Structure 1
């Protein structure tokens, strides 16, 4: 069952959805699900419930809380001039450093709920980079970090996640879209090199034929077979690392 919570952070209060496992499959491990660009909504809650069914505490925080109130947006928002401008402004205003700073409160919330074991992080779209950055910032708690169709993971920006590879102690899984302008082959190679040189246990996998956003059920490019493959990879990855 979803519990809507407010998380106190250094910059205010972040809305979030918190889920707790029940039954014999329940573990003491938790997962932070870093949202895509369209904000909290039923599709993400459904994804969280799959992770809860696998036995994990799950937190889905609103990374745009500093811009609240906003939206709600759906996955067609970039096709509309008004909502495109709003979303781009929020994306630019929500820096990696902000989300990294929030990570301590996110982990504390999961711990208080009962997730006293290792923590996993998974992010979609711009959340993918946040998951990797969280792994670098909180190596003592985050044991697994996954990104699906994450953008700009190895860009020229000073806060590009690949620059933090040396601080990552977690296992890393990156599922990239087959063709994705936000994460082209050159960036994929740069990220893999950075993780390899840092000695990070990692996999970078190319989902050939999948478009950016394929794994999220309400996205226009959602692919059922590709999403099923993503779930198999993610659940196996977390089971191997968090249990």
Structure 2
């Protein structure tokens, strides 16, 4: 396995990213849409695990417009007023529309690295909605999209991904925390209805007892059993679709 730091030219600047390649030629490409705490070693570890299944995995910095920033400790960042305000500025200032535009450059970066074939995307926390919006915006390039403890997947906002369900061709998997204020039951119902009416191949699964952030090892609510369940669902999704 190899790890490579690359720079991706976007319409708004240059995004740093890290690309992980398997030892053998990659079977497909995957883009990880980060959580609010940004690129860091734990996301590298998660990318390496996916690369171990034979994929080339791209981890772009979605907050590149504000770089440099951080690093952040997920266990304490929201408990400190200064870092909480910075995180909210970074996430609020990086709109869904910006990340949607960036998606084209991310996909082109995989192609430029000679990673051909279908693409899968997965997002955590704020990255969940961005992964689904990417699938809706680039339906001919993205074949699978997953969200884990994603927030605002079916909100009242104009850029909520459920509004674009009719554009999605990818298979969708949504793993939600048992209780999550950022994705309450009414949003789950709204998302299910939108995907079903659009005849999107999808699964929405409730991880009972898990809290927002349970998949990511450096979160205070990390749950090893729940994380392994997430890995099984994610790798099965990609194995079945990225062929």
Determine if the TM-score, normalized by the shorter chain, exceeds 0.5. yes
CA offsets 1:51-94 (integer angstroms, 9 cap, x no match): 10000011000000011111111102111100000000111100
Q: In the alignment, is the contact (CA less than 8 A) between 1:28 and 1:114 conserved in 2?
A: no
The equivalent of 2:83 in structure 1 is: 83
CA offsets 1:102-134 (integer angstroms, 9 cap, x no match): 011100111122221000000000000000000
The equivalent of 1:4 in structure 2 is: 5
Q: In the alignment, is the contact (CA less than 8 A) between 1:100 and 1:133 conserved in 2?
A: yes
Correspondence 1:28 to 2:38? no
Stretches of structure 2 lacking an aligned partner (at least 5 in a row):
none
The equivalent of 2:147 in structure 1 is: 147
- Report the 3-state secondary structure (helix = DSSP H, G, I; strand = E; otherwise coil) of the residue aligned with 1:107: helix
CA offsets 1:202-226 (integer angstroms, 9 cap, x no match): 0000000000000001110000000
Two-structure CA RMSD over aligned residues (Å): 0.8
User: What is the deviation of 1:28?
Assistant: 3.3
Q: Aligned equivalents of 2:173 and 2:28: distance in 1?
A: 18
The equivalent of 1:99 in structure 2 is: 99
Q: Aligned equivalents of 2:12 and 2:65: distance in 1?
A: 8
CA offsets 1:5-37 (integer angstroms, 9 cap, x no match): 1110000000111111223xx433100000000
The equivalent of 1:52 in structure 2 is: 51
Q: In the alignment, is the contact (CA less than 8 A) between 1:129 and 1:161 conserved in 2?
A: yes
- Equivalent runs, 1:100-119 vs 2, <5 Å: 100-119=100-119
CA offsets 1:180-216 (integer angstroms, 9 cap, x no match): 0000010001001000000100000000000000000
* TM-score when normalising by structure 1: 0.98
Runs of 4+ in 1 over 2 A off after TM superposition: none
Q: In the alignment, is the contact (CA less than 8 A) between 1:99 and 1:130 conserved in 2?
A: yes
Correspondence 1:128 to 2:128? yes
Q: Aligned equivalents of 1:111 and 1:222: distance in 2?
A: 34
The equivalent of 1:65 in structure 2 is: 64
- Report the 3-state secondary structure (helix = DSSP H, G, I; strand = E; otherwise coil) of the residue aligned with 1:4: strand
The equivalent of 1:37 in structure 2 is: 36
* TM-score when normalising by structure 2: 0.98
Correspondence 1:199 to 2:202? no
Q: Aligned equivalents of 1:209 and 1:97: distance in 2?
A: 33
User: What is the deviation of 1:44?
Assistant: 0.3
The equivalent of 2:165 in structure 1 is: 165
Q: Aligned equivalents of 1:71 and 1:192: distance in 2?
A: 36
Stretches of structure 1 lacking an aligned partner (at least 5 in a row):
none
